[in-house]
Amino acid sequence: MDLNKKSFIPVHTNIENVELDGEKVLRVIKVEKIMEFDENTYAKLKDFSFHNGTIEVKMLSRLLPDAPDFARGFIGIAYRITDDDKQFESFYVRPTNGKQCQDPMRKTHGCQYFSYPKYTFEYFRNHQITQYEAPADIDLNEWIQLKAVIEDEHASFYINDKLILVVEDMKHGKDLKGSVGFFVDIGTEAFFKDLKIDIK
């Protein structure tokens, strides 16, 4: 799919096409809800509906110059996004918790599934629910291949062709439908390319 910015709606973000390593990519950063976690901050495909199928994309994140010390390079996807942006499912990674991280506890938080608006990472942490996170062998400033296989309430997430997280009970259930977007969170400069979506 062509990642021309005209194909996307910026939701609490700024989006632009830039050249990176000689390729045209989409750059996404937060411009609203700057210090709020797990919010509806993404670039959303226009006039698009997704229920079941496969989403693949390559993504690269950097820390912004003013990123707070708890920034992790958060980057990922949102899917089944409703038209009013009030519900969606999401998966993202935390690159600074990957290859270079020396803290064993932080390394267990390499990736995250969440469901907006209620089931955020904070909700899961507060309730000591751990099955929606996993380690990820990734880093900042490198292209990361993400593949998400979605079927009803089930989701399988792959990083660089390795199965990294399986979710058996997506919190909006099996019937939600909506658009697909590129998710970005606090302190992150996010880049995306090579989007492929296969709808079942």
| pTM across the whole model | 0.97
Give the 3-state secondary structure of 87-144: CEEEEEECHHHCCCCCCHHHHCCCEEEEEECCECHHHHHHCCCCCCEECCCCCCCCCE
DSSP letters, 47-66, are: T--BSSEEEEEEEEEEE-TT
What domains, with CATH codes, occur in the chain?
Answer: 5-199 (2.60.120.560)
Q: What is the pLDDT of residue 168?
A: 98
Quick: pLDDT tens for 14-25.
999 999 999 999
Q: Given this model, what pLDDT does residue 51 score?
A: 98
How many other C-beta atoms are found inside a 10 Å radius of the C-beta of residue 135?
18
What are the tens digits of pLDDT across the range 38-95? 999 999 999 999 999 999 999 999 999 999 999 999 999 999 999 999 999 999 999 9
